[in-house]
Chain A
Amino acid sequence: MSKKPDFRVPELNDSLEVPKVKDGTMAHSKPFISKPELNLALGYPEELIDNWQEVAINKLGDMVNNSRALRVYMDTCVKCGACTDKCHYFLGTGDKNNMPVARQDLLRSVYKRHYTLAGKYLPKLVGAEDLDEQMLDKWYTYYHQCSQCRRCSVYCPFGIDTSEVSMAARDIMQTIGKSQKYCTEIIGKVHKLGNNLGLPAPALADTLEGLEEDLLDDINVPVKLPLDVAGAEVLLVTPSADFFAEPHVDGLIGYAKVFHQAGISWTLSSHASEAANFGLFTGSMGNMQKIAIRIREAAQELGVKRIVFGECGHAWRVAYNHLDKLAGPFDFLDRRYPLPQHMVEVTHDLIEQGRLRLDRSANDAKRVTYHDSCNVARASRMGSKPGGQFSIPRDVINASCNYFYEMPRNTTKEATFCCGGGGGLLTDDLLELRVKGALPRMQALKQVNDKHHITHMAAICAICKSQFAKVLPYYGFEMDQIISLHQLVGDALVFSAEG
């Protein structure tokens, strides 16, 4: 943190406190609006169209007719208040519209006005509202203050999932020409160059070569980071941040060491050099599908037998739940393996089979805690049993280090707090929101730190890692305290002289 922030960073206390409800404390927080050419490239209007109200309302009706989730979620909220103190953005800002139900109501009130009997004739009675400029402005503001982490949906008696509502709202907005720059930019890049960072294939090859050299110097073992190798057993699809950013890259090195020691042939692909799928965040089925198809094309072209995903939260969500639906069938793969697999699952199974030599004491300088990434925790699974997404990463951590400590129970596993940067909000124009939204996680980290003097927090999501590297210093921690889970594994792997 180089300069003083122009907002107040929340203070950490002994435990998390629920703030008083305030009006509009975050009304000023909006992401940059997308540039016309970025919108055009994705097939959206360049800027806000003239008849946006009409188009938006029709689109809303269409979406409700085609999504059972949205239809049920619009109808069933009883305003019981169970979700009101569950969102990290509300806990960090106190803004009324950051309570999940209030966020949903921005869309629900318009739905009621146009698509329900009571809302048409008695709008005041049932809280129905017109879609006017002010409302659209609120949509843009507050649907970009939802990281789609699904924490509210755990606690809602009807499972109402605000992430579905915010995806729908963003989809409506992009349809009328009001998209957010960060997401359109990234989706544009992934369509064009294969990854979110816009890293062209030669640069990627160069980077990987450099990493191989460093590794050889480091441990004197010729661990490879193969790119576009036809006939490999495994295609690894990983977030592009893994290729060079700290602490991500140490995770990538961890995967490479695991594959090397287990003797599994693997490859990265320059065509699908990105696991992330921002189509999910903007609620765009079309983009989500186009991004997913890249992976299928890469797998087919390289003739691999299975697809493994690196550490990325929402990528795993999309892959686990939707890859086959969006880009299938994958009948050319070895169907004895699940489609897809998570890298943590692969490592876990290798440990169970005794195929990895791990020396926990290599990590004895570290006192580790673990941050459950929201999309892995609440929107996917690992292993064959429900909750494997919690136990499998922990098993791997415990096999790799001696000092592991949990954060408070109401902040982990299905109750985990988002890092504050998920859902397409990991951009500097939303820095205040990101810092404040990280409060619940930072508070939990402080609590475990007070007791156990934590040196590192491990995570399995590129967004979490980037977000924490940025916000940890605001709360008095060090930016390098966030690490990849596979860094722990990589550091603990023992290679004998011959490798």
Chain B
Amino acid sequence: MPETGEVVVMSILLIIAGLVFIFGTGRKIYQYYSTPAPLKIPTTPAPTSRIGVVWRLTKEVLVFQSLFKAAKVTWLLSWLFHAGLLVVLLYHLQFFTDPVWSWIWLLVPVVKYASFAMVTGLTGLLVLRVVVDRVRVISAPSDYLMLVLLLSIAASGLLMRYFWYPDIVLLKQFIAGVLSLQFQSFPGGFTLFVHLLLVAVLMIIFPFSKLLHAPGLFFSPSRNQVDDSRERNLDPRAIESRSTKDVSTGAGHE
């Protein structure tokens, strides 16, 4: 069904979704950035330097350190999902680059596992949400729908990988067309249509939903603040004249 109508509708939808995603999320990030954080509230023990904070956030982003402390099953499932998602997203760059960036082909051996990790993680999280009473009672319909949406995107993607392959050349032309605001041929196929439609939905709801946890983490004062309230008041000369230990806790007189 490669009609022009379909091309135009899908192109416009994706353009709108992309704009909503970029400007909506950008607006939220600016909001987080510009809202004052007058008081120091890092959850301690906290790093005493900027570099320490970068390391703390890196651990939160890459291995979900706090969640690991909290709930091992939830941690495993969400890490599988997010790690899988990352690999799959990077793999998708092949549809946006021409010639394809060579390092993307390094992902070929793992992308299969990544996509199944994604589906396993999402399914597991959905099961947890239903089965664990404490999680069930805090779930709104949108919490389930979000997982269903992500699962549907993953499933439709996997279907195209293993059963109904779209024409990659046409697909790349279509994507290049959307990016340059020209309406190119659409490779067609119901599965691809659904896949792209759901991705557009995801991008549109991103700035208005809990998906904001992605940028939000970087602005969370309990995680991104340096624990240096006292050090900033110290006379720098004192640090030279006394041992670090004495300066920090400084008991008696000389």
Contact = CB atoms under 8 A, between A and B. Distances in A.
A262 B251 CA distance: 10
A324 B139 contact: no
Closest 9 CB pairs of A and B: A349-B251, A384-B248, A127-B140, A76-B216, A155-B70, A159-B222, A386-B45, A82-B70, A81-B135
Interface string A40-73: 0000000000000000000000001111110111
A264 B250 CA distance: 13
A380 interface: yes
16 contacts: A72-B32, A75-B212, A79-B143, A80-B78, A82-B67, A127-B141, A159-B66, A159-B217, A321-B229, A322-B39, A324-B233, A325-B39, A339-B230, A345-B251, A378-B44, A389-B45
Interface stretch (A83-91, A133-141, A169-177, A482-490): A83-91
B23 to A, nearest CB: 14
A350 B222 contact: no
A77 B217 contact: no
The secondary structure that dominates the B interface is helix
Interface in B137-196: 137-143, 145
A99 B248 CA distance: 37
A118 B209 contact: yes
Contacts of A81: 71, 74, 128-129, 132, 134-135, 138
Given A125-B140, A346-B251, A384-B249, A75 B37 contact: no
Contact of A77 (B210, B233, B234, B242): B210
Contact of A67 (B35, B43, B46, B132): B35
Contact of A84 (B31, B134, B232): B134
B66 to A, nearest CB: 5
Contacts of A101: 138
Nearest to A338: B230
Interface stretch (A210-218, A243-251, A329-337): A329-337
B202 to A, nearest CB: 14
B142 A125 contact: yes
B127 interface: no
Given A84-B135, A153-B222, A320 B229 contact: yes
A77 B36 CA distance: 20
A313 to B, nearest CB: 13
Contacts of B28: 75
Nearest to B78: A80
Given A79-B210, A387-B45, 16 more contacts: A77-B210, A78-B213, A79-B139, A81-B128, A99-B138, A101-B138, A117-B208, A125-B145, A161-B41, A233-B253, A262-B251, A335-B235, A341-B250, A355-B251, A381-B44, A382-B249
Contacts of B95: none
Contacts of B222: 69, 150, 153, 159-161
Contacts of B135: 79-81, 84
A239 B22 CA distance: 52
A204 interface: no
B251 to A, nearest CB: 3
Contact of A154 (B43, B212, B233, B248): B43
Interface in A370-387: 377-387
Given A81-B128, A82-B67, A82-B74, A159 B143 contact: no
B138 A84 contact: yes
Contacts of B233: 324, 328, 330, 335, 338-339
A235 interface: no
Interface residues of B, number: 75
Nearest to B237: A336
B246 interface: yes
B90 interface: no
B116 interface: no
Interface in B202-254: 205, 208-210, 212-213, 216-217, 219-223, 227, 229-235, 237-238, 241-242, 244-253
Interface residues of A, number: 90
B98 interface: no
Interface of B: 28, 31-32, 35-41, 43-48, 52, 60, 64, 66-67, 69-71, 74, 78, 128-129, 132-135, 137-143, 145, 205, 208-210, 212-213, 216-217, 219-223, 227, 229-235, 237-238, 241-242, 244-253
A474 B242 CA distance: 50
B248 A67 contact: no
Nearest to A73: B220
A21 interface: yes
Given A20-B133, A337-B250, A339-B233, A159 B45 contact: no
Contacts of B66: 82, 154-157, 159
Interface of A: 18, 20-21, 64-69, 71-73, 75-86, 96, 99, 101-102, 105, 116-118, 124-127, 150, 153-161, 164, 233, 262, 264, 306, 320-322, 324-325, 328, 330, 335-341, 345-350, 352-353, 355, 377-390, 392, 414
Nearest to A77: B210
Contact of A336 (B145, B219, B231, B242): B242
A233 B220 CA distance: 39
Nearest to A124: B141
A341 B252 CA distance: 11
B132 to A, nearest CB: 6
Contacts of A84: 134-135, 138
Given A66-B35, A99-B134, A264 B253 contact: yes
A159 B234 contact: no
A73 B221 CA distance: 9
A325 B249 contact: no
Contacts of A390: 45
A381 B231 CA distance: 11
A321 B247 contact: no
A304 to B, nearest CB: 13
Contact of A385 (B32, B48, B141, B205): B48
Given A67-B35, A81-B138, A414-B45, A75 B230 contact: no
Contacts of B212: 75-76
Nearest to B77: A80
Contacts of A155: 66-67, 69-71
Given A76-B220, A345-B249, A321 B142 contact: no
Nearest to B242: A336
B248 A338 contact: yes
Contact of A126 (B138, B140, B234): B140
A67 B37 contact: yes
B35 A154 contact: no
Given A71-B32, A80-B74, A345-B249, A321 B40 contact: yes
Nearest to A383: B249
Contact of A68 (B47, B209, B219, B250): B219
Contacts of A338: 230-231, 233-234, 247-250
A348 B249 contact: yes
